[in-house]
Chain A
């Protein structure tokens, strides 16, 4: 299947700092990417839909100024957690797929575990 790469796998930062997570589609172009957040022993919560060349679409309750998403190219989307606080600690996962508009499956990155001290 298609490959989605996420970096970093884990990051520890101090409260108040910003952290950037990258999501890349390695062998296909992705006009749309999705960002999810997963709390321990819970399901995936969709945060936002990242659209290449336009603004991201955020789910209800997700602060767009807190979670900045940039989809500058057809293979890269970034999620920046700004002024991170301990409650932002979570597992963040991105996904994309080469044929999602025709019923194709999504492929997921390996996830990024963020710990804010």
Chain B
């Protein structure tokens, strides 16, 4: 079965510092991986995805993620964090058979001024 794991419930980072939100995956076959962000009482916003091609994927709001097949990871990164980046981040994997999106448990990012 497809699954993703987000090992950190919360990540704290100072504004201006680089940030990393971790995600590892377990899939059979080639993974379709996604990152979404959720602000309070809102739906999810798509950030970026990896389907195939370059391992480094660039997305919205300056975020990027690196697909690492050997480590089965897809960590989300940003070179310089903003206070407005504070939100809940979800990693997800697509089930090829059903098109369902399977989410991780989420990581709350807090960026301090």
Chain A residues within 8 Å of B, Cβ to Cβ: 1, 4, 6, 32, 34, 42-44, 46, 49, 91, 93, 95, 100-101, 103, 105-111, 113
Residue-wise interface mask of B (81-113) relative to A, using a CB-CB cutoff of 8 A (1 in contact, 0 not): 000000000100010001111111110000000
The distance in angstroms between the C-alpha atoms of A105 and B49, with both chains bound, is 7
B34 interface residue per 8 A CB criterion: yes
Show 21 residue pairs from A and B whose CB-CB distance is below 8 angstroms, ordered by the A residue: A1-B46, A4-B43, A32-B99, A34-B100, A43-B106, A46-B101, A46-B102, A49-B99, A49-B100, A91-B41, A93-B44, A95-B44, A95-B101, A100-B99, A103-B49, A105-B46, A106-B34, A108-B36, A108-B44, A110-B43, A113-B41
Chain B residues within 8 Å of A, Cβ to Cβ: 32, 34, 36, 41-46, 49, 51, 90, 94, 98-106
Nearest residue (CB) in B for A93 is B43
Which of B41, B46, B106 has the most chain A CB atoms closer than 10 A to its own CB? B46
The distance in angstroms between the C-alpha atoms of A111 and B38, with both chains bound, is 11
Q: Are B105 and A43 in contact (CB under 8 A)?
A: yes
Q: Which residues of A contact B32 (CB under 8 A)?
A: 103
Q: Which residues of A contact B43 (CB under 8 A)?
A: 4, 6, 93, 108-111
Given contacts A44-B90, A101-B99, 11 further A-B contacts (CB under 8 A): A6-B43, A42-B106, A43-B90, A43-B103, A43-B105, A44-B44, A46-B100, A49-B99, A93-B43, A106-B46, A109-B43
Nearest residue (CB) in A for B96 is A103
In angstroms, how far is the closest chain B Cβ from the Cβ of A99? 10
In angstroms, how far is the closest chain B Cβ from the Cβ of A75? 17
Q: Which residues of B contact A106 (CB under 8 A)?
A: 34, 46, 101
In angstroms, how far is the closest chain A Cβ from the Cβ of B64? 16
The distance in angstroms between the C-alpha atoms of A106 and B45, with both chains bound, is 9
Nearest residue (CB) in A for B99 is A100
Q: Which residues of B contact A43 (CB under 8 A)?
A: 90, 103-106
